[in-house]
Structures are given as C-alpha cells and as structure tokens.
Structure 1
Amino acid sequence: MKIVVITSSAHVAGASNYLADQFIAGAQASGHEVYRYNAVDHQNNFVMVDEENAAIVQHDDVEQLLHKVAQADLVAMVTPLYYFGMSSLLKTIVDRFYDHNHELKGNKQAVMIATAAGKDFASLKVHYRQIIDYMRWTDAGTIWDGGALAHPAIDEYGQQAYELGQELSAGN
C-alpha cells in the first residue's frame, strides 16, 4: 500500500511528530511504502481561484505532494489541535486538494491523528468527517491524543499509532 503522511506541527520534538513517527514505523513494519511530507519544511501556498472559480496553479511544493496523494492508497493527516481545528499548515494543504479534486476523489483511505493538551476534538472530528465524505475516502482510523503533554499518555497513544500503521491493509 502507498501511504502519504502529512505532518503539520512546528514542534520538531512534539507529540504530533512523535505519533507520526510511530504510525510510519508500524506501516513500514508491515511492508507499506510511506512518503512523509512535513508541511513545516515546504513552501505551501494558499488555494487561489480566478473569476470563473477555476484553480490558479501554484508553483510550490504542494504540487508535488498532490501528485503523491493522487497515487496513494491512504492519506494520513497529522496535526496538533489549534483553536479547535487542524493547524493552518494542514488546512492550507487540504484546501489545495481543490486543485486536483478530479484526481483525488474516491478509492482512498484516510487516517487522522491529532494531539492536544485537552480533549475537545469535537470540531476537528466533524471537519475530518466532512473532508473524507466529500472526497469519498474511507476512514481507516483515528487517534485523538488529548494527553499530548503527558509522557505516559504519549506512550499509550504512540503504541496506538504504531498499531494503526501496522494493522493497515489494502481493503481496511
């Protein structure tokens, strides 16, 4: 299975990146091919449209990512919770799906891994469901780490992330 993992936390040693590492390790242990795109390390322009509502092509790193997403079987989105939603870095990339909806819709699975100091993921859960419903993707699993600042909790969620990656199958 081809997997694209999109990470979006500026905290290099933070909980989101740790859980992404664990998910990737589990997926690779099961023989999956994983491509990681850390939004912090790339130029990610906002979606723009012209007067006819057609996407204006952006010449940035997201274009290459979108081609990888088009070829992927599964897209994993990893984000810290900021003001009840995904990070602006991840949101910018998700918005750019618009440029390639015809290529991206259907026949994919999705995973959401989110971290926060608290447990109020309600808005992000709704947003994630709306994204995958619109894209006609299948939910392959979620992790809602509401204890991201506590080391015992991160170890527990790290194990869950590893197992989620390890247990993925082509027809999950």
Structure 2
Amino acid sequence: MRGLVLKASPRRDGNSALLADAAAAGVREAGHEVTVLHLDDFVEGMLRDCRTCRHDDGACGIPDGYERLLTEHLVPADALVLATPLYWYGMSARLKSTVDRLFCFMSEDHPGSAAVLAGLPGKRVAVLIACEESYRGATLGLQGQFQELTRYLRQDLVGVVVGIGNSRGDVRHDPGDPLRAAADLGRRLFDLRITDYRFDTPRDNAVWSAG
C-alpha cells in the first residue's frame, strides 16, 4: 500500500514536521511504501476565479507545482497523512490552498478531472496537529473540518493526533507522547477499523471481534 505524508508547515523542522516523520516511520515499519513531501515545494498560489485564469483547454493557469503534487502523488496514494500546525484555530494556509484548489481539478471543465474524481475517494486519512494550547477545544473546529472534508470526498478519517508545543522540538516534551501516538497511527494506518453507524446499519455487538 502507498502512503503519502504531507508536511503543511513553512517550518521544515517544526513540531508538525516531527509528528509527520514519526507517522512516516510507523508506515514504513508496517511494511508499506511512504512518501514524505513539503507542501511549500509544490503549492505557491491560492485558488482564484477559475473563469478568468483557466487555460483555453480548461487546465489550471496557476504556474506552480500543484498539478504535479495532485496527479503524481496525492491521487495515486492509498492513504494520506496531513500534518499541520494550528493557525488561528485552523489549518495552515498551504494546506487550505491544497484543499481549495481541488475545486479546479474536480470540475468537468478540467481535462484531467475524470482521473482526479476517480482517484480521490476511498483513501484513508490521518491528521496530525501541532498546537500551542492544551485546551481540548482549540483543535476541535479543525478536527470537525477534516471530518467533513473526508466525508465529502468519500474518504475515511482513521485518526487524529494532537501534539502540544510551540518552539521547535517542543512537542517532544509533551507528556502525552504524541510522537509515539503518531508512529502508532502510521503503523495501523491501513488496519484501523472505521465505523460510521446509522440506526439501520447491520452490525455485530462485539465491535472488535466482528469481521
């Protein structure tokens, strides 16, 4: 299986990057392929008005590496690990732009939309958040946003790890040991059982022993 870890912080040696590296190590330990990328290397522009900046063939007109990130790495991956610092109680700007710009490539006007629309659903998604505040509510809005994003894209949000820290490397001292938790999430990325019951969902009373 192929995992893709996206580092969404402009600080390459920051706390969310440490969480990302721990998760990637866990994925490798479980015997899966994993690629680790920095969004800064691909995403430079924000989503614009597609009616004014598309090329004549419908392709995106923003001249950066986003299309390569999407088509060569994100779409082919079986699972995504998204690592972001908490910025104003939300995701980093690079990660938000990455999500926003899916709009252009999912539009039927884009020449490559069929492959993107076929490749986005079914992925497993894990989220890693570096946050200065230990107050639990600080990250709940962002966690809810990821839940809705994955629901919309028909993906499974398999886990969230929050590491508390501010200065570089501070997350290592979090007594909750988020680095261990991120590594464990990476190891179990393709094995975690996800349930989303409705009142009429057929299910066994034994959650973990059911097939």
TM-score over 0.5 (shorter chain)? yes
Shorter-chain-normalised TM-score: which range? 0.7 to 0.9
Could you list the runs of 5+ residues in structure 2 that have no partner in the other structure? 107-116, 194-211
Taking the aligned partners of 2:119 and 2:66, their CA distance within structure 1 comes to: 14
**Against the structure 1 CA distance between its residues 141 and 97, is the aligned structure 2 distance closer, same or farther, given a 3 Å change threshold?**
same
Higher relative contact order (CA 8 A, sep 6+): 1
SS across alignment from 1:121: helix
Q: Which residue of 2 aligns with 1:108?
A: 123
Could you list the runs of 5+ residues in structure 1 that have no partner in the other structure? none
Output aligned runs, 1:10-49, within 5 Å. 10-48=10-48, 49=50
Q: How big is the shift at 1:42?
A: 3.2
Q: Which residue of 2 aligns with 1:64?
A: 68
Q: Greater Rg, structure 1 or structure 2? A: 2
SS across alignment from 2:122: coil
Taking the aligned partners of 2:171 and 2:28, their CA distance within structure 1 comes to: 27
Question: After TM superposition, which residue ranges in structure 1, 4 or more long, deviate above 6 angstroms?
Answer: none
Taking the aligned partners of 1:63 and 1:150, their CA distance within structure 2 comes to: 32
Taking the aligned partners of 1:163 and 1:170, their CA distance within structure 2 comes to: 11
**Against the structure 1 CA distance between its residues 107 and 171, is the aligned structure 2 distance closer, same or farther, given a 3 Å change threshold?**
farther
Contact 2:130–2:171 (CA<8 Å) still a contact in 1? no
- Please state if 1:129 is matched with 2:147: yes
**Against the structure 1 CA distance between its residues 128 and 56, is the aligned structure 2 distance closer, same or farther, given a 3 Å change threshold?**
same
Contact 1:47–1:56 (CA<8 Å) still a contact in 2? no
Taking the aligned partners of 1:7 and 1:150, their CA distance within structure 2 comes to: 15
Contact 1:111–1:141 (CA<8 Å) still a contact in 2? yes
Identical positions, percent: 26
Q: Which residue of 2 aligns with 1:73?
A: 78
Taking the aligned partners of 2:191 and 2:69, their CA distance within structure 1 comes to: 21
Matched residue count: 171
SS across alignment from 2:129: strand
TM-score under structure 1 normalisation? Answer: 0.88
1:97-143 deviations in Å (ceiling 9; x for gaps) = 22333244311111111011103102101111111011110112111
